Amino acid sequence: MVEGTLVDLVEIQRHESEADGQGGFTRTWKNVSTNVPARIMPARMVQGGEGMESRAADRESEQRSLALTLKWDAQIQPQDRVVHEGQTYEVIGVNTGSFLTARRAALRQVA
């Protein structure tokens, strides 16, 4: 049962565009979910990764890569952000398999 291993709590954020009053827009981040049970681990410790949908799969990064595990029905998508213990991470990929027992996302720390 995956719930027993989800020892961390995270916030999931999604960007929204808001009018800036001068004819343009400002990008803001709004919480989609708070106090979400999760597990964050270094990506190298997670096996597999097949079925990851990523918008930056081939881009090299000097930042730390992590794997986030959530309940199978968690609402998370590429381009979302995850906040854990004051650190912010960009979601760069989400598993898309059809027989999910857990939802897994690839994260990159935001500078």
Question: In CATH, what number is assigned to the domain containing residue 56?
Answer: 2.40.10.270
pLDDT digits (tens, 9 = 90+) for 44-86: 655 544 444 444 444 444 346 899 999 988 999 999 999 999 9
Tally the domains of the chain.
Answer: 1
**pLDDT for position 36:** 96
Specify the 3-state DSSP secondary structure of 2. Answer: helix
pTM for this prediction: 0.76
Tell me the backbone φ, ψ of residue 45, rounded to 5 degrees: -90, -5
Range of the domain at 12: 2-109
